[in-house]
Amino acid sequence: MSEHRAPAPDPRDFLSVDADLDETERDVRDAVRAFAARELAPHVADWFEAGTLPDPRGLAEAFGALGVLGMHLEGYGCGGSNAVAYGVACRELEAVDSGLRSFVSVQGSLAMAAIHKYGSEEQKQEWLPPMAAGRAIGCFGLTEPDSGSDPGSMRSRARRDGSDWVLDGTKMWITNGSVADVAVVWAATDEGIRGFAVPADTPGFTANVVHRKLSLRASITSELVLEGVRLPADAVLPGSRGLGSPLSCLNEARYGIVWGAAGAARACYEAALEYAGTREQFGRPLAGFQLTQRKLADMVVDVNHAGLTALRIGRLKDRGLAHHNHVSFGKFANVAAAQRVAAASRSVHGANGITLEYPVMRHMVNLETVATYEGTEEIHALSIGQAVTGVSAFR
Ligand SMILES: Cc1cc2nc3c(=O)[nH]c(=O)nc-3n(C[C@H](O)[C@H](O)[C@H](O)COP(=O)(O)OP(=O)(O)OC[C@H]3O[C@@H](n4cnc5c(N)ncnc54)[C@H](O)[C@@H]3O)c2cc1C
């Protein structure tokens, strides 16, 4: 077919990225998109304004019924989907709000993935089925007040006392920490860094909500305090050894961010397209001004680049070929693209753009968190720099 007879690009999927999804992946997209439109989008501005999730347990159960909690993990009540289907689910959730995608990522790719990868059979049987169903909530405690980008410097300690373990330390910025039933906590031991499944009702474990956030407000963020938390010998995740264990979980969650950022970018672009088509100044829609069209052209390029990057890394992952540097590339590129799109969309919206009546500024400030957690923009730049030069510039 000559290019003159090819169908014109769809402004909402300019490069037809979704045409390369298979039927199952499209079904996941449609189911998550419909759920998000029905259950999340009508409420998210209120949740964001309130600075919390009013019913995290109900939300967890709804996500469980939808099948997105640990959906890419095998067995134990998990969905066993491929990486692309999981990514598409992240994209559709983050098109509504980064905080809601974070809920699903932390549960599935951090807490559940850590237990799935490194836990004993008993730990998997105990925690994974209720977590997949959303009847139990998990969190992942790696970051500390004085240990962020350099988690190897953590101060949390786990020491042996007879056959027990005793944990002391503070974890900071922990998503879902104060509503979790189980915290996967990383602590230094005489054998290196190890992970522990800490039931939230263990004496000595407390979680305090972080207030006054200006980003990711439709998400619960907490400080975890562990003071002489005594755990039985079997609380350690037996397969966890060294910093590589939490880092490999972070790589799973980052993969979801690669897709999620593409969703946030798409939502901001679509909002700008709609607004520019209806808002009139100087007697014509904003969409008719050259400067607006330049913004929309830049946005549609960023959105489609992000979509292609996510799909490419997803396909590599499904073939077992996604190196962690590929995921760094995706996080670095797609979050930056989403930030550019959100900022441009906000400007197209004029004064309306600063309100919660429109999604753009909410996305814009959420993306500050997305650029920070799971490895900051700078840390991923250094990873990519190391991958292409062979020289580490981390310290
Ligand atoms: C809302 C929210 C939710 C979060 N959820 C979780 C969670 O569930 N679990 C969890 O464990 N953590 C979580 N985090 C923490 C997050 O992962 C950390 O904030 C992140 O790793 C960065 O650490 P930091 O904030 O201590 O910044 P720092 O590491 O202190 O970095 C500050 C600045 O210095 C830069 N920098 C640091 N080192 C270098 C270097 N070598 N070269 C150049 N620049 C450098 C950074 O890029 C950054 O710009 C969350 C954070 C937020 C904001």
Q: For residue 351, give the DSSP letter.
A: G
Rounded to an integer, the average pLDDT of 351-368 is 98
The confidence score (pLDDT) of residue 1 equals: 53
What are the boundaries of each domain within the chain? 17-133, 138-235, 244-389
Structure tokens at 54: 């009013």
Give the number of other Cβ atoms within 10 Å of residue 45's Cβ: 17
User: Roughly how many angstroms between the first and final C-alpha of the chain, as a whole number?
Assistant: 55
Ligand 1 cavity residues, CB under 6 Å: 106, 140-143, 148-149, 173-175, 216, 221, 369, 372-374, 376, 378-379, 382, 394
Q: What is the rounded distance in angstroms from the CA atom of residue 193 to the CA atom of residue 186?
A: 7
Cβ–Cβ < 8 Å for 155, 92 = no
Indicate the top mutation candidate among 373, 374, 384, 386 to test ligand 1's pocket, ranked by most ligand atoms within 8 A of CB: 373
Amino acid at 255: Y
On average, the pLDDT of the chain sits at: 97
Whether the predicted pLDDT of 2 surpasses 80: no
pTM: 0.97
Q: Which CATH number fits domain 17-133: 3.30.300.30, 1.10.540.10, 1.25.40.10, 1.10.10.10?
A: 1.10.540.10
* pLDDT tens sequence across 184-230: 999 999 999 999 999 999 999 999 999 999 999 999 999 999 999 99
- What Cα–Cα distance (Å) separates residue 35 from each residue in 63, 177, 320? 9, 25, 30
For domain 138-235, the CATH superfamily is: Butyryl-CoA Dehydrogenase, subunit A, domain 2 (2.40.110.10)
Which pLDDT value is given to residue 265?
A: 99
Domain 244-389 coded CATH 1.20.140.10: yes
Q: Which numbered atom of ligand 1 lies nearest the CA of 210?
A: 1
Rounded Cα–Cα distance for residues 223 and 170 (Å) = 7
Distance of alpha carbon 52 from alpha carbon 103, whole angstroms: 12
Length of the chain counted residue by residue: 395
Distance from residue 295's CA to the centre of ligand 1 (Å): 31
Has 374 been annotated as catalytic? yes
Question: What H or E segment, with its residue span, contains residue 170?
Answer: strand 164-175
CB 85 within 8 A of CB 71: yes
